Structure 1
């Protein structure tokens, strides 16, 4: 009951902002020694306007110190067994809080000067959300990791727990930038369903920091329309090994640092098997998937001027799928219907990717640095399948006492469908980039950043796929070809037999791109108010060439962007932000390829005028920090490259024949609802529509109107080592799509709402911050961390769907959209250990 009350109170806070009394800012954290053990009795103090203020650390090394408002002070850390340390220039505003953890050494040491302004620092004024690496590792999800958390943030949505893909504010899966240590990350091309994806590129055990922006981002970020996910991998400070194992797979991460501190390395190997999840779906299968990768991040710092890094990744996804049977019941209570399918055949897909990136950073002077980046991405993909589906569509026996209860009693339509594909793709993407960073002036209030990048994309692609539909004994002709209607057996048919769908293409394409950006930022004061200004511009030029491509045009786009933030001198810690600009998305290879596989080299860049107005309110509740962020946004889009969405596969029309818009409101409240843990509630409303060839506005495939997401962490008061993690999502239904080659203006139905709850329960035997010292627990001493957990995916066993299977009723000539349901309730155990 206490947990329910907490959740209700937590949700209620999203709708009201209460003016709290002025509270002093807080500096808090944990002090540890060189062996990573907490230090009790450290005296932390300063001399301020109110005199000498002091606190001491407890047995866990934890401290909490109130700081005067807007007054710079020097904070000292003193202990009889360690050298005196200090931080100069600690200055914080009303209701601010900052976590500062540090290692005290026995030798002489002075901590570097640190300017502490707030917990979010620069990210807050830039409109960037920071995600805790701990939350990424602990929060349960069928596809746990960074993307699992991103889908809970404002503006981002995902209706497929088997996919790492997400859409942001009306965009699609191809409109999101992902960086790891300033290096752009790519996804495979041919994947068509979430269960084929396997592993995200990002290894959660290697993460130090994650930033996310849902729009209005700065010019230093690349050329996509919707969002930026900026990930930083960490540099190890000690030797360690982390092991994770569950019914879905496992991982091993090794890390270390050289004696001279110049070399660091971290390497992670992962393995995943989705059989547990896929076998919970309606379709009975023989399913043999293996997803594995090895990833490394190595740094070398020879001196204070230079730093060199290498990021490498090798992954192999093998997806072997043999469907057997399926029955989906739908319709109403009065008129229940069912689709029953018997399969023959199999699918064998393989995706191999190789990625390597070298970077070097040169500190030219105190105020000027250069960074050089070179990366190479190679993907080899194969998609082979021959699957024959024989189906019966009809009325279900709903008599509870009948021996045939639940079976099809009267068939309205019978037929078969043969799907065939032999698709191969080989892609090589090379990047070379240089970036510059300038701090201007002695106070470093102004910053200038710039960069130039060259990209070459070499794609070799073969598409060979077709679909044959046979209904009641005769082959159906495609509706887009001028052929006589085949209405056998009533009328003899003498026309040619052709597939219902057929795609045949062989593309050898090269794309050369040049891009660059320059931006200026300034933090200053306007009277007694703090303000942040940012202005920048990006430019992009590209040209498509290749076999059978002649006379393609060189295209250039220019994208100006700006941000303005102001923090008034109020008792309340309130910040207002306005950002936006002109955003272009030059077409990637998949956006150049139309629905029949042909490459159209002169496809234009999609353009969006994006404006975001936001309010960021930080306050204290129960003496703990909370943050309420509200964002209203509007996007006006033209030269839109419309598409159809089949599970996670996108097929573009590649003709820039539409205009579109998106607008909405996102609210997110996060904070320590339970001491020592971060929880949040996100509520969003969004509407996006497109107008194709002037025919009028209809819903876009990503028109997700309402979203509610709750991430909640708690622990048992009398057993603090027993923790609970809850991940709740509600999304209103997406448009259900349309049959192949059908007019999308006719099919505007929606799927059912997406409702999902994932729960995790974990018993922590050893926490790195609280080592076990009892004599009976000697066996735990080798571990820095040790936890055993139970995960329950889809806790309430909701039936969610991502797409429809379209089946033809030969008698009524109707098309039925039968939902393809996702995973049901699944249990899994998880073991985490760090030594």
Structure 2
């Protein structure tokens, strides 16, 4: 009888449990610090956050409720929410101090996760430590993303190269200069991290709405200002200023950023003594005008000027083994003067027909004017170092194995104009979305190449590798001096492209399981006209699909699979081979790409964590093989190569320290190519293992003292061979890349710590910091300098080391 009564009492509880689910999350402030004692209520049911800002509350299932978040120091915030998963929901808002304006609320975005898109916190991109701090630097900490050159913002993704990555800012594709061959010439990235609102990144298997590339998509959104503000940052590397505000009765938002950078601090840490001051300037603005409730006009403009004046003086490099050390001594004469001027402007309009249908139209133009002029003579001595510890000359050069000289000359000019016209549309309801678009692009490139190299060894001019008829020193050679390398070309190229896409997205429930899927197709038709000769029209069709499911399990997990037939029609860089000639009939590179992934969200130490795992496979055909020298890519301009890439990427992110998100990433990659049926060899981007850590911390008793640590370890890639060498005979790898950067900053005042009196009351934010780059002073190399030993007829590859340990001081302020 007692059991029967207990059962009767327990039935209502079971019924209630079936109609409810658990809502949990973490409440933080703008500095990502947890807030204790926040009251969360709906109707008469409520709870409060613990010391770590965590809360847990049972709410009705599939019924809309209004949550109210209250705290004595923060603005009261309300949010309507409907629970659609029986295994629980997560909702983590950011509360705003009562002295601040209301800003955006951060919640878990399951749609982005289902699409395989990583959403990156903007604050991390602004605070990350690194020589090129910003959006690209934080992308390089992710698994599957590699770069062995800290002075470059370019990156490889899952076996691809620099030219296989899409970059968008507010839906507009961004380009980079053509002639840059060294990371220290790059200067500033187009993306100004101080202007960014959202950062989305996909490492593969991306949707049809994105463009025709093989590797990745970086999708950036600039913010619309909510108030007048000025932010200024300066350090030993340069300075930046960002101005934002509202005009014309708050209908016009203005966001402008000015940046200046000087890389002398890094260059002076190298082994080459130089007279060198590379200077880079960038001005960027984003305007948005709300003409009506249905029409919004936007303008994005950019001016960038890179001045690279380089005058090497001398170099001394030790290499070899402990028992057989060698030293290269070089004395230089001459200089290099490069200039890269880029102009970009884009005008777009967003028109909302009704709640379901909207359109976007964009007109953009990109112009780059590039000059690359240098005459540099180098006289070298390759010597044996005395390794006898008991010798009076220990550590000194006591015998010269090789003596020679080298003269490099270039007068390269390029002028490129790229014009785009694009219309996109979106038709959507609560669960379905149809996207479509069409784009016309015209490219006009004028390229003049004059580049040659002379090599002399003990008075004998060294002929090119394929030169015949030279029997020196036994017979005198009476022919003219032939450059060891010689490239002369004049290219006038016009490319017309028409591309379009259509894509269907849907979210639905299968029983209690959430499902997302999208299917779409892209196509592109293009024609190349070079030096008066026109190619036939070529076309690609690229179908793509994604599917994801979030099971209604006790554990919070999401599974996804994506892929398709991806195509990359050739750009101007791909059309031009190492001799400067254009192949107008070059076909698009193609890749069958399959990605399978899983997200597992869980709690550890009563804090949120997320484990993301992806496996991928690429089968590439019509490949345009290439070589990499620093950041310069030289293509074969043929389609005689096949290739493949496969690997696995793992990333664990969460609050290893309460209130501060960090992550650990691990990636394994294998990619090989078969050039003209000669057999499989490693591709230039075959970086087998990548391990990275991005860690944030603060002093518990002094939370305004913060630390940022960025650790990267990459195994070596094939490279460092002479440009003329046969890659099948030279498969040596560069040494492993290891680097650690540390940043420490103290926050004097910010949104969570404001002063009403005193000199600090004049600031909205004030931060001072120290940055230690390459803190263990590890010598990483990216290329080799090749010199000859006249006696043994052998060549030595002397590593060109990158930046050493560097200390930087920085100040950030906001008014």
Using the size of structure 1 for normalisation, the TM-score is 0.91
Q: How does 1:106-505 map to 2 (within 5 A)?
A: 119-258=108-247, 260-400=249-389, 404-440=393-429, 444-481=430-467, 483-488=468-473, 490-505=474-489
Given that 2:514 and 2:550 are in contact with CA atoms closer than 8 Å, whether structure 1 keeps it comes out as yes
- 2:79 aligned with 1:87, yes or no? yes
Taking structure 1 as reference, are residues 487 and 39 closer, same or farther at Cα in structure 2, changes over 3 Å only? closer
Q: What residue is the counterpart of 2:800 in the other structure?
A: 820
Given that 1:95 and 1:572 are in contact with CA atoms closer than 8 Å, whether structure 2 keeps it comes out as no
Q: Distance in 2 between matches of 1:784 and 1:755?
A: 38
Q: How does 1:39-78 map to 2 (within 5 A)?
A: 44-47=40-43, 52-55=45-48, 64=55, 66=57, 68=59, 70-72=61-63, 73-77=65-69
Q: What residue is the counterpart of 1:806 in the other structure?
A: 786
- 2:85 aligned with 1:100, yes or no? no
Instruction: Say which of 652, 668, 671 aligns to 2:654.
Output: 671
Which digits, 9 at most, give the CA deviation of each residue in 1:581-622, with x for residues without a partner? 000000011100011001111111100100001011111112
Residue 405 of structure 1, CA deviation: 4.3
Q: Distance in 2 between matches of 1:184 and 1:83?
A: 39
Structure 1 vs Structure 2 CA RMSD:
2.6
Q: How does 1:599-610 map to 2 (within 5 A)?
A: 599-610=582-593
Q: What residue is the counterpart of 2:516 in the other structure?
A: 532
Residue 738 of structure 1, CA deviation: 2.1
Given that 1:737 and 1:748 are in contact with CA atoms closer than 8 Å, whether structure 2 keeps it comes out as no
Q: What residue is the counterpart of 1:35 in the other structure?
A: none
Q: Distance in 2 between matches of 1:464 and 1:201?
A: 28
Residue 144 of structure 1 aligns to a residue whose secondary structure is coil
Q: Distance in 2 between matches of 1:757 and 1:80?
A: 42
Q: Distance in 2 between matches of 1:95 and 1:478?
A: 69
Given that 1:701 and 1:737 are in contact with CA atoms closer than 8 Å, whether structure 2 keeps it comes out as no
After alignment, is 329-338 or 693-702 more displaced? Answer: 329-338
Q: Distance in 2 between matches of 1:81 and 1:828?
A: 36
Residue 413 of structure 1, CA deviation: 1.5
Taking structure 1 as reference, are residues 79 and 645 closer, same or farther at Cα in structure 2, changes over 3 Å only? closer
Which digits, 9 at most, give the CA deviation of each residue in 1:149-206, with x for residues without a partner? 1111121001000000100000001100000000100000000000000100011110
Given that 1:521 and 1:532 are in contact with CA atoms closer than 8 Å, whether structure 2 keeps it comes out as yes
Given that 2:323 and 2:387 are in contact with CA atoms closer than 8 Å, whether structure 1 keeps it comes out as no
Given that 1:645 and 1:701 are in contact with CA atoms closer than 8 Å, whether structure 2 keeps it comes out as yes
Given that 1:27 and 1:66 are in contact with CA atoms closer than 8 Å, whether structure 2 keeps it comes out as no
Q: Distance in 2 between matches of 1:41 and 1:728?
A: 36
Q: Distance in 1 between matches of 2:768 and 2:123?
A: 16
Q: Distance in 1 between matches of 2:303 and 2:58?
A: 48
Instruction: Say which of 632, 644, 658 aligns to 1:661.
Output: 644
Q: What residue is the counterpart of 2:685 in the other structure?
A: 702
Given that 2:530 and 2:584 are in contact with CA atoms closer than 8 Å, whether structure 1 keeps it comes out as no
Taking structure 1 as reference, are residues 105 and 634 closer, same or farther at Cα in structure 2, changes over 3 Å only? same
Given that 2:74 and 2:95 are in contact with CA atoms closer than 8 Å, whether structure 1 keeps it comes out as no
Residue 675 of structure 1, CA deviation: 1.5
Q: Distance in 2 between matches of 1:146 and 1:110?
A: 25
Q: Distance in 2 between matches of 1:98 and 1:722?
A: 28
Instruction: Say which of 676, 689, 711 aligns to 1:693.
Output: 676
Instruction: Say which of 768, 782, 801 aligns to 1:788.
Output: 768
Q: What residue is the counterpart of 1:25 in the other structure?
A: 23
Taking structure 1 as reference, are residues 95 and 678 closer, same or farther at Cα in structure 2, changes over 3 Å only? farther
Given that 1:193 and 1:647 are in contact with CA atoms closer than 8 Å, whether structure 2 keeps it comes out as yes
Q: Give the number of aligned pairs.
A: 790
Which digits, 9 at most, give the CA deviation of each residue in 1:71-122, with x for residues without a partner? 543213569999986422342654653332366999xx9999x9x9x61332
Q: Distance in 2 between matches of 1:407 and 1:639?
A: 53
Q: Distance in 2 between matches of 1:84 and 1:750?
A: 59
Instruction: Say which of 480, 491, 495 aligns to 1:511.
Output: 495
Q: How does 1:599-638 map to 2 (within 5 A)?
A: 599-638=582-621
Q: What residue is the counterpart of 2:11 in the other structure?
A: none
Residue 413 of structure 2 aligns to a residue whose secondary structure is strand
Q: What residue is the counterpart of 1:14 in the other structure?
A: none
Given that 1:737 and 1:747 are in contact with CA atoms closer than 8 Å, whether structure 2 keeps it comes out as no
After alignment, is 538-547 or 75-84 more displaced? Answer: 75-84
Instruction: Say which of 804, 808, 812 aligns to 1:832.
Output: 812
Residue 288 of structure 1, CA deviation: 1.6
Given that 2:21 and 2:59 are in contact with CA atoms closer than 8 Å, whether structure 1 keeps it comes out as no
Residue 670 of structure 1 aligns to a residue whose secondary structure is strand
Q: Distance in 1 between matches of 2:76 and 2:659?
A: 28
Q: Distance in 1 between matches of 2:62 and 2:788?
A: 73
Given that 2:39 and 2:46 are in contact with CA atoms closer than 8 Å, whether structure 1 keeps it comes out as no
Which digits, 9 at most, give the CA deviation of each residue in 1:548-579, with x for residues without a partner? 424x1110000000001011111110111100
After alignment, is 191-200 or 621-630 more displaced? Answer: 621-630
Q: How does 1:547-626 map to 2 (within 5 A)?
A: 547-550=531-534, 552-626=535-609
Instruction: Say which of 706, 726, 736 aligns to 1:723.
Output: 706
Residue 779 of structure 2 aligns to a residue whose secondary structure is coil
Which digits, 9 at most, give the CA deviation of each residue in 1:473-523, with x for residues without a partner? 101111124x223532x3322333210000000011110000000000111
Taking structure 1 as reference, are residues 85 and 100 closer, same or farther at Cα in structure 2, changes over 3 Å only? closer
Given that 1:46 and 1:54 are in contact with CA atoms closer than 8 Å, whether structure 2 keeps it comes out as no
Q: What residue is the counterpart of 1:713 in the other structure?
A: 696
Could you tell me which runs of 5 or more consecutive residues in structure 1 were left unpaired when the two chains were aligned. 1-21, 33-37
Q: What residue is the counterpart of 2:5 in the other structure?
A: none
After alignment, is 529-538 or 731-740 more displaced? Answer: 731-740
Using the size of structure 2 for normalisation, the TM-score is 0.93
Q: What residue is the counterpart of 2:666 in the other structure?
A: 683
Given that 2:47 and 2:55 are in contact with CA atoms closer than 8 Å, whether structure 1 keeps it comes out as no
Given that 2:327 and 2:384 are in contact with CA atoms closer than 8 Å, whether structure 1 keeps it comes out as yes
- 2:639 aligned with 1:639, yes or no? no
Q: What residue is the counterpart of 1:16 in the other structure?
A: none
Taking structure 1 as reference, are residues 405 and 262 closer, same or farther at Cα in structure 2, changes over 3 Å only? farther
Residue 124 of structure 1 aligns to a residue whose secondary structure is helix
After alignment, is 152-161 or 88-97 more displaced? Answer: 88-97
Given that 1:28 and 1:65 are in contact with CA atoms closer than 8 Å, whether structure 2 keeps it comes out as no
After alignment, is 255-264 or 241-250 more displaced? Answer: 255-264
Q: What residue is the counterpart of 1:5 in the other structure?
A: none
Given that 2:365 and 2:417 are in contact with CA atoms closer than 8 Å, whether structure 1 keeps it comes out as yes
Given that 1:474 and 1:486 are in contact with CA atoms closer than 8 Å, whether structure 2 keeps it comes out as no
Taking structure 1 as reference, are residues 42 and 628 closer, same or farther at Cα in structure 2, changes over 3 Å only? closer
Q: Distance in 2 between matches of 1:349 and 1:40?
A: 56
Q: Distance in 1 between matches of 2:230 and 2:50?
A: 29
Taking structure 1 as reference, are residues 67 and 768 closer, same or farther at Cα in structure 2, changes over 3 Å only? farther
Q: Distance in 2 between matches of 1:633 and 1:186?
A: 27
